[in-house]
Chains A and B, each alone.
Chain A
Amino acid sequence: MRPDARPGWRLLAALATRDLWHDRKVSLCIVASLVAVIAPLLLLFGLKHGVVSQLRGELLDDPRNLEIRLLGNHDLDRAWFARLAAQPGVGFVMPLTRSLNAQADLMVDNQRFVADAEVIPSGPGDPLLGAHLTPPDGDRVLLSASAARKLEASGGERLRLLVLRKLDGNSERGQREVTVAGVLPETAFPRPALLVSLDLLVAMEDFRDGFAVPALGFASGRPAPPRERYARARVYANGLDAVAPVAGWLEGERIETSTRLREIESVKAVDRVLGLIFAVIAWTAAIGCVASLAGAFLANIDRKRRDLALLRLLGFRRAAVGAYVVVQAVLLTCLAFGVGYAAYLAGSTVFNRALGANLAADAFVCRLENLHILLAFASALLIASLVAALGGYRAIHIQPAESLRDL
């Protein structure tokens, strides 16, 4: 008996493909007009994304851009530090002593000597450490790159930490042997500095305040009381966008700060301006693309009226004829996106070769993430399908009788 089967998708797609191939000149024109929109937009967005992420990357590479420096000395207790650490956007908090007490002389021998190096307390999560260095602990300290250069010291070397104080009219020199556990990268900190554990820094301040500090070789005198309050703090945001809110919170605590917000803002401004330029161009191109696609698809459907009517006559349902038109649009768009993507790859290689020469090895002038490509592909398909659906709506109203008569 006669099967009740209806024409399947595969047959429909096969017919649509053969139709496009038969009509390849017109198909090529439609593909070319799509490529003419897709490729420049990909390149433009690639450039915008490449430039902005390059600038952001440079900002992020320098931990100072994440730092919120507290100006002046304050009276900050443990509870305050706990509240600060609980603020959203705070990446790293470390108590700090009064600024004059956070200095020390470093000496390997008489020739290798650094006076008044900054002593910075550090701990796990310190942005200065980057991803690889382990935080200082006890006698193990870290040197900034410039301090290491002056001391000609590298990892494993032992050096002396010297702290001077005047007590009852006598100059006294506290000292301690420490081991260089590592050296910070050049970009992390420009001046000579020593990264130590907070305990060591507190011991130095106690020593200068006249207490007995066995760790620096002075066991006589009054022992220092347990430390509850600090004059300052090292504060880092966990991202560029968090710098302003954290600084704002500190202002609310009546603590003046200094940040690199201006640099961050300028990158954001570049992002905004490029984003606006990109959006205007993209919308203009997309509207032009939709208009040209609509024209091409609708004209194509008028041209193929008889064929579409014939498909209806042969028993293709209305929806199938509408789908036929949409399938053709989708096929053309896939092809156009493929070609457009290839053009983008070629163009971005040119950009990266010609303009990226003075950038670091892993830097890009023009780049897109896979997600961007996917999104671009999806929106191209969506636009083409919508336009084709308009044409499909026209196509389903073609009467099968049109194929019988010579109109």
Chain B
Amino acid sequence: MTPPMLHIENLAIHRGTYRILLPRLSLARGEVAAITGASGCGKSTLLEMIGLILRPECLDRYELTGGEGATPLDIAALLREDRQARLADLRAQRLGFVPQSGGLLPFLDVRRNIELPRRMLGLPASSERVEEAIEQLGLQPLLHKKPAQLSIGERQRASFVRAIAHEPDLLLADEPTAALDPLQARRLFELIVETTQRLRIATLLVSHDWGLLRACAIRRLVGVPDAENNGGTVFRDAA
């Protein structure tokens, strides 16, 4: 059996006395999972830790497996040693982010925003997959506009294309549909699921939209109050 693309065990951090704990998470290639839970339960914090931008206090295992048959990369060690530069490189090479409000650089047009992750890695600015995604998301007419000229939905779509432009291993999205109407939200979700499967990457997103998650048959990781520890959240796979 091939190892999972992402494997995490016992990831935890304290926010004051409040503990946020992820006992175990495995994501296979092509798999999408959603982090859900009540507001303020620590969904974004969890995503930041998995996204290597917040250092967890406790972490037993964090492995990311690149190509098929590659040896898993021990990210837990890098986090423990706080190797900031190496972690930044990993973010550039292995991760793709879709921030809540798009997070496009205001001084670059859409095309350059999308190309940025590839340029950072010294890859050719454009690829077939990027052009495909641009086509599919209807971004073609927007390529030469600055983010300020776009609607929130358009920004979110551009941000998604940027997040997959360099063909990362893991796509992380923090409430990507929060500002979208139901129809747009559904289209973006479907596209995320489809792209994840097609590119054989793993996707972890934060969402409140249970109905949509169910409709797209997305695996859920639910934050529930910590039974052992009063004040805290444990994220477990929904039954």
Binding site for B on A (CB under 8 A): 1-8, 11, 15, 18-19, 21-23, 306-307, 310-319, 399-401, 403-406
Contacts and interface: CB of A to CB of B under 8 A. Distances in A.
Interface stretch (B84-92, B191-199, B220-228): B84-92
A404 B93 contact: no
A19 B89 CA distance: 23
Nearest to B99: A404
Contacts of A19: 105, 107
A313 B174 CA distance: 13
A133 B228 CA distance: 106
Contact of A2 (B51, B66, B116): B66
Contacts of B88: 312, 315-318
State the 3 A-B residue pairs at the shortest beta-carbon distance, nearest first.
Answer: A315-B92, A22-B107, A5-B122
Given A311-B105, A315-B93, 13 more contacts: A4-B93, A5-B120, A6-B89, A15-B105, A312-B88, A313-B91, A314-B97, A314-B116, A315-B90, A315-B95, A315-B120, A318-B88, A404-B44
Contacts of A404: 44, 47-48, 51, 53, 97, 99-100, 103, 174
Contact of B84 (A2, A317, A401): A317
Contacts of B216: none
A37 to B, nearest CB: 27
A403 B67 contact: no
26 contacts: A1-B66, A2-B93, A3-B121, A3-B122, A5-B121, A5-B122, A6-B89, A7-B119, A7-B120, A11-B120, A22-B146, A307-B106, A313-B53, A315-B89, A315-B92, A315-B117, A316-B88, A316-B120, A400-B91, A401-B54, A404-B44, A404-B51, A404-B99, A404-B103, A405-B174, A406-B101
Contacts of B105: 15, 19, 307, 310-311
A310 B99 CA distance: 9
A114 to B, nearest CB: 83
B217 interface: no
B77 interface: no
B38 interface: no
A401 B67 CA distance: 28
